[in-house]
Structure formats: C-alpha cells, structure tokens
Homo-oligomer: A and B are copies of this chain.
Amino acid sequence: MMRTRPLKVALLGCGVVGSEVVRIMTTHAADLAARIGAPVELAGVAVRRPDRVREGIDKDLITTDATALVKRGDLDVVVEVIGGIEPARTLITTAFEHGASVVSANKALLAQDGAALHAAAEEHGRDLYYEAAVAGAIPLIRPLRESLAGDKVNRVLGIVNGTTNFILDKMESTGAGYQEALDEATALGYAEADPTADVEGFDAAAKAAILAGIAFHTRVRLDDVYREGMTEVTAADFASAKEMGCTIKLLAICERAADGESVTARVHPAMIPLSHPLASVREAYNAVFVESEAAGQLMFYGPGAGGAPTASAVLGDLVAVCRNKLAGATGPGESAYTRLPVSPMGEVVTRYHISLDVADKPGVLAQVATVFAEHGVSIDTVRQQGKDGEASLVVVTHRAADAALTGTVEALRKLDTVRGVASIMRVEGE
C-alpha cells in the first residue's frame, strides 16, 4: 500500500554524481515510489555555484546554504555527494541531529571518521549508508555487511581505483611508460588534472580502510592502511612480470592474520598471475575478491566510478534508507565488536620479486643468497642474466614477513657487488 505523503530528500552537492541522482529521481520517480512504498520528493539542493545551469532542477530548490538546508527539520534523507572532510562531516552530523538519515559517497570522510559518524547516527536513531563510497556501482558494502554477516571473511583483495587500473592496463597492453599512460588517461577523462589521490594510492587506501573495517567487524582508519603509489612502476617491471606469467595491478589488500588475532590493510602495486581473475580486469573497471570461511572465493566486478554508476549505488541506499524510515527502523550500523588491532606493514606476510644490478663476477650469487639467508628469507627462484660485464639478478622469494624482506633489500643495497636495486615488487594472488 502506497503512502501518499512523500519522503523528503535533500542533496548536498550537484556535480557529476549529484546531477545523475537528480536525473534518476526525476525520470524514475514512479519506480522509486513503488519500490519504497511512498513517493520521494527532492526538497533542496545545496551547491557552491547557484548560477550554473542545472537541467531538470527547480530553481527554488537550489541554495548555497547547506547548513540551513540540513537544519530544516522536515528532511527524511540527506544525500551527501560533496566529498572531502569539511564541510561534509559537520553537515552530516547536523543532518542526524535534525532528523535525517544520510546516504554518502564520501570515502575519505568515512575512512577517517567512520566510527564517529556511525556513533552520531546511532545516537540519533538514523541510518548512515555509503555503498557508493567504495567501487562505485559494485555492490560491496551491502554484501559484506549483510550477505556475509553469517560468515567469516579472511581476505579482501581488490582493484578499487579505476584511474590507476586504466594506466596500468595501458602500460601492459601498449608497453607505454607511466607518464605516457597517465597522459592518455588524463586526455580521456579517466585521470584528474591533479592525479595525486589516485596514483599515490590515497583513494584506494580510503576504500581499503572502509572494506577492512566492515569485513573484519573492527575499526580500520585511513592512517592504519599501508600505502604505496604506482608512479614508480616501469615498462621494465611489466616485462619482468610477463616473464613470470604475471601482470601488475594496484591492489587493496585486507587480511586477517593467520592466528586471527589481528588484521592488516595495505595498498601497493603487485604482480599477480595472469590466471587470476583480477589480472583480466581492464580499463577503469574495478573488481574485488572476497575470501571467506564458508562461502569460499567470491568476486564482484563492475564500473568503479562515473556519475551514473555511482548514482546507482546512492539510489540503492536511498531506497533502503527510505524503506527503513517507513518501517520505523534503522538498518545495520557499525559492527566493530571484534576490536582486532591493525598490524603494521612489517608483519604482513608477502613475497618479493627483486631485480638487482650486480657485478658479473664469481661469488656474487653466493653473497646475495647469504643476505637472504641471514634475514630468514627463503628464495623461490633466481634468474641471472649477464650483459657487458654487468649482470642482472632476479630473485623471487618465498613468503616472509615484510619487515624481513625490506631488511633483506636494505642489506643487499650495502653489498659492494650490488650496483643497484632496479625494482622491488610484491607478488600476490597465488
């Protein structure tokens, strides 16, 4: 049975995502009403530049005073698609205080202050949903939080940044260097003018923090996530990867330690086997592997960004929050009861692919192998190639603590016979 009084929704921000949210709310109003059980009304849109033409939005709805909008008191839901920490954070908490639930796409804010925001939502009996904050349209938060609520997730391994995947895919398929591939990504609109947040891994790290927190029912903040960007990945690294039957992806990896007593979260480029499903994720697509005790290996794949895909995730949350409101209930809030500590990168168990430039003379391999042994790192394969009195030595290790591996590399750098460390890359997904 349909309620006739509409639910009132305010929108904070009306850029690429916000304008798609409005478009869908308008063109699919009847569907949304049928699925929610009540019509949804756009009650206000807070923007920075009110004079910009906004098709399909009544001018009377537009305001520059976001604070006054969220304080109105008659709103059911506030959709926050401004991004960034402030004023988004204050607006969201103000919305909770004044009776509204919140749907947000704000990964940076959730990764930094998720716990406080969840607490504020709970205090006021509101919902805080943010499927759009991680991997755009791909349902991930809801499956982790609800579908896998009876399972034990041990690992989340994903490509969660489309810009960097586009760049790495270009480098692999065309042999281009990083800068050339970045230029193409920029020209095609896949990279922003300042690509730092993407290429240095900040965006992926925020998503890793959110995913790890939900997957392991604990609190993981952005600062807890180890982060390496992908600006130093070279065409030579791709050639090395190819020789190993691998490609290179920027991965977000969240793991439960073998003893179950701690978790880790990290973002860095890594070699993964070409046979791994993540290896074939092309262009700006995202994909996330989830390994859990009972379900086994699951993968979720789709567009990780863009106005319409992100709006799809926002609207899914909007429908859920509206349904909750009509039912007089709230959905699942923060689940952080395990209070598992987040271990530093040094304790993560991984494998290294190390490329060394060494002197081409007898005894070098013995010296190098001794350094690995001294650090307790066992070697899987060594490949030696001579070239003009110099030689290159490619070593792939067995699994070891990251601290032992970095210690090994530091010691190798000090050897007289090691002219340089050409590249270091972790190997994952095996």
Tell me whether A147 and B296 are in contact in the complex, defined as CB-CB below 8 angstroms, given that A34-B337, A217-B34 are known contacts.
no
Report yes or no: B296 in contact with A137, Cβ–Cβ below 8 A. Answer: yes
| Min CB gap A305→B, angstroms | 11
Interface size class of A (residues with CB under 8 A): 35 or more
Which chain A residues in 174-219 approach chain B with CB under 8 Å?
217
Q: Which residues of B are found within 8 Å of A324, using beta-carbon distances?
A: 329
Check B303–A300 contact: CB distance below 8 A: no
B-contact 0/1 string along A315-331, CB 8 Å cutoff: 11111100110011110
Best-buried of A150, A297, A300, A314 by chain B (most CB within 10 Å): A150
Q: Evaluate contact between A150 and B32: CB separation under 8 angstroms.
A: yes
Chain B residue contacts of A330, Cβ below 8 A: 327
B143, B294, B302, B318: the one contacting A311 at CB < 8 Å is B294
Chain B: minimal CB distance from A145 (Å): 9
Indicate whether A148 sits within 8 Å of B312 (C-beta atoms), given known contacts A300-B300, A335-B34.
Answer: yes
Other-chain contact of A146, B31, B319, B335 (Cβ < 8 Å): B319
Known contacts A150-B24, A316-B150; A277/B301 CB under 8 A = yes
Within 8 A of B (CB), among A140-157: 142-143, 146-152
A53 in the interface (beta carbon within 8 A) = no
Question: If A137-B296, A294-B20, A328-B328 touch, does A149 touch B35 (CB 8 Å cutoff)?
Answer: yes
Does A428 interact with chain B (Cβ within 8 Å)?
no
B-chain residues with CB within 8 Å of residue A329 when the two chains form the complex:
324, 327-329
Asked, given contacts A152-B31, A300-B300, whether A146 binds B142 with beta carbons under 8 Å apart, the answer is yes
Flag whether A88 is at the interface (Cβ < 8 A): no
Q: Which residues of B contact A298 (CB under 8 A)?
A: 137-139, 300-302
Indicate how many identical chains form the complex. Answer: 2
User: In the complex, are the beta carbons of B137 and A139 less than 8 A apart?
Assistant: no
Verify if A273 is at the interface (C-beta below 8 Å from B).
Answer: no
Q: Is A244 an interface residue (CB 8 A)?
A: no
Q: What residues of B have a CB within 8 angstroms of the CB of A34 in the complex?
A: 217, 335, 337-338
A313 within 8 A of B: yes
Q: For A139, A294, A302, A303, which residue has the most chain B Cβ atoms within 10 angstroms?
A: A294
Query: What B residues does A295 contact at CB under 8 A?
Result: 137, 302-303, 308-309, 312-313
Are A319 and B150 within 8 A (Cβ)? yes
Are B152 and A316 closer than 8 Å at their CB atoms?
A: no
A28 interface residue per 8 A CB criterion: yes
**Min CB distance, A105 to chain B, in Å?**
13
A131 in the interface (beta carbon within 8 A): yes
Say yes or no for A16: interface residue by CB 8 A criterion.
Answer: no
Tell whether, in the assembled complex, residue B150 and residue A312 are in contact, meaning their CB atoms are under 8 Å apart: yes
* B294→A24 contact, CB < 8 A: yes
How far is it, in angstroms, between the C-alpha of A320 and the C-alpha of B335 when the chains are bound?
14
A50 at the interface (CB under 8 A from B): no
Q: Is the CB–CB distance between A297 and B303 below 8 Å?
A: yes
User: Can you give 12 A-B contacts (C-beta < 8 A)?
Assistant: A24-B294, A34-B217, A139-B147, A142-B143, A142-B147, A146-B319, A148-B312, A149-B316, A294-B309, A299-B299, A323-B332, A328-B328
